[in-house]
Amino acid sequence: MKIAIPVDEKDKGASVCVSFGRAPYFFIYDTETKESSFIENSAAKNTGGAGVKAAQIIIDSKADALLTPRCGENAAEAIEAADIKIYKTQSMNAEENIDNFMNDKLSLLDEIHAGFHGHGGN
Amino acid sequence: MKVVVLSGKGGTGKTLVSVNLAALTKESVYIDCDVEEPNGHLFFKPEDIHEEEIGIKIPIVSNEMCNGCRQCVNFCKFNALVYIKDKLIIFDDLCHSCGGCVMLCPENALTEKEKVIGKVEKGLWESVKVHTGILNTGEASGIPIIHNLLKDNKEIGGAMTFIDCPPGSACIVMDSIKDADYCILVAEPTLFGVHNLNMVYELVKLFEKPFGVVLNKCLEEENPAEKFCLNRKIKILGRIPFDNELGNLNSNGEIAVKKNEKYKQIFSNLLDSVIKEVQNETTTHSKR
């Protein structure tokens, strides 16, 4: 299965980005092939609807799970419509979260915020 | 003649100025463009109100006709459309109703439906027409309501019109001042007030509108907003004192010029200098 995580840098040891929609990159990890790759988040600099566009990127990457510290309601609606599960990250390090996910230590993200819609958060 | 009242922040006195000037002018029109928080009607308590719902067009998709080309998804600057599992999903609250996706769709799979975002109320107080724009909570933009308020105003013709703007200097204010013959900038006597005054000062200069400043909440002490005006040779139209009596009248939803001779005098003088400025403006810049 494929896992997606919003990250601050294009680096394996990268830290998890606090924002989903405006993360500069997404770290994609394939649990079967153990391959990892990075996708640039072209939504990051959008003035509006960044979360929805970022969701489209995650969906197109064919990820099965998204690990993120938080997620807005529009993005969550799109991601859930694609049957992608959203889990809450527990620490700052991306790889650590993958390990925790593999060991069933992450729980589903149950707090979906209403979004910032141009009022802060960016 | 359209006189627009604006300021860089809320609570500066836009409504105080525009309501009292309209109340002093027979057969005038007061238009409340502060659609997120319209409060001019609290003073006028207009009667004989007619309501009109204001809607915008948002796209709907026929998924049977959609072939998944994603031209609409890529086009939308507000990311209101996503394509998931062979289905197009539209986020109504992100749509700015530009209509671009409907025009682009090669399969004609997108059409438009009406979505109500607010209303316009038109009533009467004495001989003053009171028009109020009201945006529903949570809607992205009140601009369609402002367009309706001001489009209608063209039909009113020559009546003296006072337009109460939303605070700030964003798109919604630009739309409100577009057709203005004159702009009144209301300013507070603080450094923060100067910062906000500067925002609207830059805006009216950009739009090449004739303008002047009303100094509100004036105390005996030094007034940074006045200094700002003097340094830039900006016309000061009038001064409104900072006092309890005016505060009380205003808090109780009373129109000050109807209750107190002193304020009637202050606003009459203000109205006179505005009219003088506008007349002066039309003779010196008749081609504008």
pLDDT band at A116 (very low <50, low <70, confident <90, very high): low
- Contact predicate B20/B40, CB 8 Å: no
Of A48, A77, A82, the CB nearest to B79: A48
pLDDT of B171 reads 86
The mean predicted confidence, pLDDT, of chain B is 93
B93 touches chain A (CB under 8 A): yes
Of B84, B91, B93, the CB nearest to A82: B84
B85 with A81: Cβ contact below 8 A = yes
Q: Which CATH superfamily groups domain A2-102?
A: Dinitrogenase iron-molybdenum cofactor biosynthesis domain (3.30.420.130)
Q: Who contacts B149 (Cβ-Cβ below 8 Å, separation ≥6)?
A: B31, B33, B120, B131, B133
Number of CB atoms found within 10 A of residue A15's CB: 14
Of A48, A59, A82, the CB nearest to B94: A48
pLDDT digits (tens, 9 = 90+) for B21-68: 999 999 999 999 999 999 999 999 999 999 999 999 999 999 999 999
* Proportion of chain B above pLDDT 70, given as a percent: 97
Task: Measure in Å the smallest separation between the Cα of B86 and chain A Cα atoms.
Answer: 10
Give me the residue spans of the domains in chain B: 2-54+118-284, 63-108
Task: Measure in Å the smallest separation between the Cα of B70 and chain A Cα atoms.
Answer: 11
A59 with B93: Cβ contact below 8 A = no
pTM above 0.80, yes or no: no
Instruction: Select the CATH number that applies to the domain covering B63-108 from these four: 3.20.20.140, 3.40.50.700, 3.50.7.10, 3.30.70.20.
Output: 3.30.70.20
DSSP state of B261: H
Mutation site for B-interface testing, chosen from A22, A42, A46, A52 by largest number of B Cβ within 10 Å: A52
- Contact predicate B51/B119, CB 8 Å: yes
3-state secondary structure B86-109: CEEEECHHHCCCCCHHHHHCCCCC
pLDDT band at A113 (very low <50, low <70, confident <90, very high): confident
Give me the residue spans of the domains in chain A: 2-102
DSSP string, chain A: -EEEEEESSSSTTPBBPS-STT-SEEEEEETTT--EEEEE-TTTT-SS-HHHHHHHHHHHTT-SEEEES--BHHHHHHHHHTT-EEEE--SSBHHHHHHHHHTT---B----B---TTSS--
B2-54+118-284: CATH topology is Rossmann fold (3.40.50)
B80 with A52: Cβ contact below 8 A = yes
In this structure, the strands spanning A25-30 and A36-40 are antiparallel
Mutation site for A-interface testing, chosen from B70, B81, B84 by largest number of A Cβ within 10 Å: B84
Of A50, A77, A82, the CB nearest to B79: A50
Interface predicted TM-score of the whole assembly (ipTM), two decimals: 0.81
The arithmetic mean of pLDDT across residues B234-241, rounded, is: 96
| Strands (DSSP E) found in chain B | 2-6, 29-32, 47-61, 81-84, 87-90, 110-125, 128-135, 161-164, 182-187, 211-218, 236-241
Which chain A positions have a beta carbon within 8 Å of B140's beta carbon? 117
